[in-house]
Structure 1
Amino acid sequence: MTMNIAIDIVSDLVCPWCFIGKHRLASAVGLVQEKFPEARFQLNWLPYFLNPDTPPKGEPYRAFLEAKFGGAKQVNKALAEVAEAGREVGVEFDFERIVTRPNTLRAHRLIYRAQSIGHRPGEIAALVERLFVGHFQRGEDIGDSATLAEIAVESGDRKGDVIAYLESFEGTPQVQSLVGKVGGLGVSGVPFFIIQRRLAVSGAQTAVVMAAAIMQAMKPPG
């Protein structure tokens, strides 16, 4: 008998640990399905803004990090730690290519659109992965409408439709409302996972920890 498991993933596309957490979750799903082949997963992506005050056109990436961490030495140390954790899950970060730290409202709207108009799970997964890859591996400005439209096309969307959507305000109130609801749940950092609407996992936990949490949530309540 098929067992459906819903996981809400709260993340921001400029969060490197969210990229790592996405890959760790995929490994966790594999571990669960080895034990429960009947398990089927429904992933729902929810928006979060690490820095809500990011200018609409973004800001210089390295300068932002040095101001946040207190200097170049501290930034280099933090990025090295992230890069090492990324390699463990097959993610190769290329921080040197990142020029702009984008405002991610448009990127979140793009994901919201894909989910709300019924794109297939595989297409949504490909879109989210490509957005992370665009920022962290290719140094693309994922706050730019034209760049986002090209990314969406790779995931099976129509360029003209996406540009028209992104250049309007469509989806903006809904995304901002979701951000508010996530904050209302007490989420103050990402990644954050909500399994079966009743069990929460904070941070980019290991695949083993994530799998254990999923299997715990699969048990009947009570």
Structure 2
Amino acid sequence: MTTMRTLDVLSDVVCPWCWIGKHNLDAALAELAAEGLRFNVRWRPYQLNPDMPQEGVVRAVYRAQKFGSEARGRELDANVAEAGRAAGVEFRHDLMQRTPNSVAAHRVIRMAAAAGLQNEVLEALFRGYFHEGRDVGDVPTLVELAGAAGLPPDAVAAMLAGEDLKAEVLAEDLAARQGGISGVPSFLMDRHLLFSGAMPAARMADAFRRADAILSERASAA
């Protein structure tokens, strides 16, 4: 009998490679499911910009400061857009006006886990930010996007009105950094770090296949 392993994915909603990685992951999991390998996927919080102001910043200004110039930022955006097309997603950098603080979005994603809707909510937030240019640090926007993905809007609004799940998100984010995670997406199988990065679906599936075999062999030898 095959054990259903847990696959933890550390990601951030403002990380373009995380959206690409999610689509590659979906394809990899479909390939493995056809072989009888299935995984319990859990999306975990990580802040690319832990010092981001609560209200976020103007994206063009932020990227010019981070990468040295607006031209360099546009060059990196073009690289991301090309990789996105290969993964089946379309980035609209021209619509993206702000770089948000992502803590509130991570709280919504954590809330979605209890409802079994993490995948749907995360996709809605990625698409909202990267394709529609929505501010996913804005509470009404988060309520709308999460509601469209299946979460009760009133419950999302009530959660975000207080401090619910904030401490848990910040603690997980800190634990990841202290554990040596420095980039996302990062993939862990049964708490073993496998790799970081949005590698192509076929390579991702092979990495999961080999990791599952190694963990099974270790369990048999124990």
Q: TM-score range by the shorter chain?
A: over 0.9
SS in structure 1 of the partner of residue 122 of structure 2: helix
Q: Is the 8 A contact 1:196 1:217 kept in 2?
A: no
Structure 1 residue 2, shift from structure 2 partner:
5.1
Identity of aligned pairs, percent? 38
Q: Does 1:23 align with 2:17?
A: no
Aligned pair 1:211/2:209, yes or no?
no
**For 2:109 and 2:130, how far apart are their aligned partners in 1?**
17
What SS class does the counterpart of residue 201 from structure 1 fall into? Answer: strand
2:86 paired with 1:88: yes
Pick which of 68-77 and 123-132 moved more.
Answer: 68-77
Query: Which residues of 2 match residues 146-161 of structure 1 at below 5 A?
Result: 146-161=140-155
Counterparts of 1:168 and 1:147, CA distance in 2: 16
Aligned to 2:195: 201
**RMSD over aligned Cα, in angstroms?**
1.3
Q: Are 1:170 and 2:170 an aligned pair?
A: no
- Secondary structure of 1:43's partner? strand
- 1:101-112 superposed matches below 5 A: 101-112=99-110
What amino acid is aligned across from residue 57 of structure 2 in structure 1?
A: E
CA distance in 1, matches of 2:33, 2:152: 34
Please name the residue that 1:13 is paired with: 13
Give the letter for the 2:142 counterpart: L
- Tell me how many residue pairs correspond in the alignment: 216
Listed one character per residue, the Cα deviations across residues 169-195 of structure 1 (whole Å, up to 9, x for unaligned) are 111111111111111221011110102
Specify the SS of the correspondent of 2:203. Answer: helix
Q: In the aligned structure 2, how far is the partner of 1:65 from the partner of 1:125?
A: 28
**1:67 is matched with which residue?**
65
Give yes or no for the alignment of 1:4 onto 2:4: yes
* Structure 2 counterparts to residues 120-135 of structure 1, below 5 A: 120=116, 123-135=117-129
- Using a 3 Å threshold, how does the CA distance of structure 1 residues 127 and 61 change in structure 2: closer, same or farther? same
Structure 1 runs (4+) deviating above 4 angstroms are: none
Which consecutive residues of structure 2, in runs of 5 or more, have no partner in the other structure?
Answer: none
Which range moves more in the overlay, 68-77 or 47-56? 68-77
Q: 1:198·1:217 contact (CA, 8 Å) conserved in 2?
A: no
Give the TM-score of the pair, scaled to structure 1: 0.93
Instruction: Give 2:39's aligned residue.
Output: 41
Question: Which residue pairs with 2:182 in the alignment?
Answer: 188
CA distance in 2, matches of 1:24, 1:202: 13
Q: Could you tell me whether the CA contact under 8 Å between 1:141 and 1:147 is conserved in 2?
A: yes
* 1:112 partner letter: R
Contiguous gaps of at least 5 residues in structure 1: none
Of the structure 1 ranges 193-202 and 84-93, higher mean CA displacement relative to structure 2 is found in: 193-202
Given that 2:10 and 2:45 are in contact with CA atoms closer than 8 Å, whether structure 1 keeps it comes out as yes
Q: Is the 8 A contact 1:54 1:102 kept in 2?
A: yes
